[in-house]
Structure 1
């Protein structure tokens, strides 16, 4: 799929690192190094603007290595970039670790994945079909 992109940063375009990769690494586009203290958040610019086709979204996901080694993840879990958004893609990082963490220009901070979605059209009804689970909630099947 070809996607139009504007790169206002001083970095190369993002690319897949392996043939089997589903995510494209996003890099921090910073003028100066940012120190993220424990429990602090920072909106990291990427310098990228994308034109996402209708019926698709871009998902911004954390990098497992940053989370496992340093406690760095996305404050919003998974970010969503809608097809009608044309602003700069920014990543909300949070430091859940115990030590300050430096974010430098060009650091790989997140992954971007293109995903197709379906629009929901709600059909109001008075009841839903029964299932074995029914309305059983969190932990209803035990540990």
Structure 2
């Protein structure tokens, strides 16, 4: 059973001058925008660790995922490597930003570069067994593409 999580606030610490707290662009948005605190320039195919100047205190049972901003990805091919923020981490959030596009990309301090998505998770104790129970349907061990087109 998943634990009940009731959190109305997330504590955020601004670590650097110019840092901006993660913020949703519109009410109801799932992700909180993350902004860089330093200019960044990426050649095509390059990647860089980009600081946000922000630290957060996630509650037990919640992790953070660093995910793309769809417009930045669609227009420029600039995406973050998926990042996982554990609830016990209190350091600065950084984004590994990658330019998968064909043109150089530059962002100025304060530009939004990724989103933080807060996700409840389940971390049960693991048990090594000799055999797994059968799947509830006929899939079994069939993998990618096994259900057809």
- TM-score with structure 1 setting the length: 0.90
Provide the C-alpha distance between the structure 2 equivalents of 1:114 and 1:47, rounded to a whole number of angstroms.
18
The match for 2:86 among 79, 82, 89 is: 82
Q: Give the gaps of 5 or more residues in structure 2.
A: 1-7
**How far did 1:122 drift?**
2.0
Provide the C-alpha distance between the structure 2 equivalents of 1:127 and 1:113, rounded to a whole number of angstroms.
32
Provide the C-alpha distance between the structure 2 equivalents of 1:127 and 1:22, rounded to a whole number of angstroms.
36
1:108-131: CA deviation from partner (whole Å, max 9, x where unpaired): 000112111111222333232232
Out of 13-22 and 64-73, give the one that drifted further.
13-22
Instruction: Count the aligned residue pairs.
Output: 139
Q: What is residue 138 of structure 1 aligned with on the other side?
A: 144
Q: What is residue 19 of structure 1 aligned with on the other side?
A: 27
1:88-124: CA deviation from partner (whole Å, max 9, x where unpaired): 0000010000000002111100011211111122233
The match for 1:72 among 66, 74, 78 is: 78
Q: What is residue 46 of structure 2 aligned with on the other side?
A: 40
Provide the C-alpha distance between the structure 2 equivalents of 1:142 and 1:129, rounded to a whole number of angstroms.
21
Out of 79-88 and 10-19, give the one that drifted further.
10-19
Provide the C-alpha distance between the structure 2 equivalents of 1:43 and 1:118, rounded to a whole number of angstroms.
29
